[in-house]
Structure 1
Amino acid sequence: MSAVQLRGARVLITGASSGIGRALAIQLASEGAVLALAARRSTLLAELADEISAAGHTRPQVLSTDLAVRGAAAELGPRAISELGGGIDVLVNNAGSSLTGAQTRIADSDAARSVFETNVWAPLALTAAVIPAMRAAGRGMIVNVTSTIQAVPIPLLGYYAASKSALAQATRSLRLELAGTPIRVLEVVPGGTDTALRDIDELPWKGTAPKTLPPISPEAMAAAMVRAISRGNNRLVHPAYSLLPVELPIVGRLVATLAGARVDTLGALDPIDQLFHRKPGPETAR
């Protein structure tokens, strides 16, 4: 584990227009990082860049993109490297999207494929795009934001769970692939976080939704991420109690079974396409 110097570090954050991505951008800027912010909503990105600049920090580069479009991530990598002066020290794959609905209705539709494009293929493409510059510089960190839902297969959230599970496995494999290089790989596993991607409120519950622990704020999640990045950690699960289903899959399956019994899976549910801030957001999480 090697520390990462944040002052002057060049950081690309996807899904930066709201939620965890936005909070992370503000906190990294306060640490002296030089940022490139990517998301679909360019107006929100510009407002965030203005806020960071007004606080006396280096104004971030604003890079509007839709990572649900195939090829967008591969184009974003070189563009960000150029805007940041020829390199990237930290890539934060934070963008995320979700889709609530029955797999038997949604199948492999365009809406379903866009979830995997954003949550899986975009992070892999961006990583491949920036790794050569990191290896040439002799340093770098890839940060992939997954979710505790990788271990909690709740009905009607199968697309989000499967995509985050895929990204989690790819992240662990990438860490081993890069073990002989100076590049670090950090998996961030958010627990329940108060972002627009909290689709638990969209599920068709039988009666009232079950009580859950209060979600943490995006700012608290971002603060934990800043610490993990600066320390060069391999994994961050936050809050700490979220470790339970991740480390003990039987717990996650039990939670999913109990919660699933309260979801109206047989009702006339129309697919609900939730393509929120791509990361976020995600950002994020249960």
Structure 2
Amino acid sequence: MSAAHEASKGLRLLVVGASSGIGHAVAASAATRGAKVAVAARRMDLLTKLADDIGGTAFELDVEDSAAITRVVDSAADVLGGLDAVVFTSTVVPMAHIEDTDVATWIHAFSVNTLGANGVVRAALPHLSENGVVLVASSNDVGRPRAGVAAYDASKAALEEILRSWRGEHPELCIVRVGIGPTQDTEILRGADRELLAQLFESWVAHGQLPAQMSALEDVADALVSLVDLAYRNPTVVPEVVQLAPRIRTRDA
């Protein structure tokens, strides 16, 4: 194991939203580096396999259920013997033109992306170690909304304000908000209407919002784990807001 990967050895980490995509990859990367990992999400079939593969513990969790958040975070802290870090990656991206976005869709997006993250921070607070880190995955599109994902973009903008409030009221906390750009091999488009998606892709390309290349999932996950390590090992500094964007390479590079 390299010196860089030794940095996570023994780190007690809870990853929320780990059944697939970025959360799944973060849990796997952290375990490879020697962290003790607990994972939480709704899809227990996928989550249990992940936990078995990395030697971790799986907890079923719907982040729209505030009571369940407290129960699961308490249980994960008990199993791990405390929490050195929590990574929140749960997200929903409902796709609809803004005039077609109904109230239920707005509520669902805010319940998962905004209130879910807030609930996890609140539940983790009494369990975090002195140098504990909370990393919340967000979008690097905040402030630059795309067509067709208004509920998602608005929920992430609201999340940013909530995290500012946490920092203002709890300056002792290390809360890292990471805006993540387009990433390969996630399930962000799972269930999207194909015809609508084609229209949205056309709009995104026209407005320069779709890069020629996306970031690799494993690179994004490794970067997030490295940020956790950086913040945990350097407790007098907080990388409060970090943006991860695709690095575009030319064909002959």
Q: TM-score range by the shorter chain?
A: 0.7 to 0.9
Shift of 1:45: 1.0
Distance 1:97 1:70 in 2: 17
Matched residue, 1:97:
92
1:147-166 pair list within 5 angstroms: 147-166=139-158
Matched residue, 1:252:
none
Q: Is the alpha carbon distance of 1:164 and 1:206 closer, same or farther for their aligned partners in structure 2, counting shifts above 3 Å? A: closer
Match of 1:83 among 62, 79, 84: 79
8 Å CA contact 2:182, 2:246 repeated in 1: no
Structure 2 residue 106 is the aligned partner of structure 1 residue 112: yes
Q: Is the alpha carbon distance of 1:75 and 1:112 closer, same or farther for their aligned partners in structure 2, counting shifts above 3 Å? A: farther
8 Å CA contact 1:225, 1:236 repeated in 2: no
Matched residue, 1:121:
115
Q: Give the alignment's TM-score, normalised by structure 1.
A: 0.72
Q: Which amino acid aligns with 1:122?
A: G
8 Å CA contact 1:73, 1:126 repeated in 2: yes
Distance 1:70 1:89 in 2: 22
**Greater relative contact order (Cα < 8 A, sep 6+):** 1
Structure 2 residue 17 is the aligned partner of structure 1 residue 15: yes
Matched residue, 2:126:
132
Q: Deviation string for 1:76-95 (max 9, x for gaps)? A: 2212212222x111011111
Shift of 1:138: 2.1
Q: Is the alpha carbon distance of 1:229 and 1:204 closer, same or farther for their aligned partners in structure 2, counting shifts above 3 Å? A: same
Distance 2:168 2:34 in 1: 30
Shift of 1:166: 1.1
Match of 1:203 among 197, 209, 233: 197
Q: Give the alignment's TM-score, normalised by structure 2.
A: 0.81
Structure 2 residue 47 is the aligned partner of structure 1 residue 60: no
Root-mean-square deviation over aligned CA pairs: 2.5
Distance 1:229 1:172 in 2: 19
Q: Which amino acid aligns with 1:238?
A: L
8 Å CA contact 1:120, 1:166 repeated in 2: yes
Q: Which amino acid aligns with 2:187?
A: A
Shift of 1:100: 0.9
Matched residue, 1:142:
134
Distance 2:79 2:201 in 1: 51
8 Å CA contact 2:7, 2:33 repeated in 1: no
Shift of 1:147: 0.1
List gaps (5 residues or longer) in structure 2. 1-5, 232-238, 249-253
Distance 1:41 1:192 in 2: 23
Shift of 1:207: 9.0
Match of 1:34 among 33, 36, 40: 36
Distance 2:96 2:149 in 1: 7
Distance 1:206 1:224 in 2: 29
Distance 2:201 2:122 in 1: 46
Q: Which amino acid aligns with 2:169?
A: E
Q: Deviation string for 1:218-260 (max 9, x for gaps)? A: 1010111122111113332112779xxxxxxxxxxxxxxxxxx
Q: Which amino acid aligns with 1:80?
A: A
- Percent same amino acid among aligned pairs? 26
Match of 1:191 among 163, 176, 181: 181
Q: Deviation string for 1:159-179 (max 9, x for gaps)? A: 000011111222233223332
Distance 2:242 2:197 in 1: 27
Distance 1:221 1:228 in 2: 11
How many residues align structurally? 227
Shift of 1:15: 1.0
Shift of 1:31: 1.3
Q: Which amino acid aligns with 1:229?
A: V
Structure 2 residue 231 is the aligned partner of structure 1 residue 237: no
Shift of 1:117: 1.0
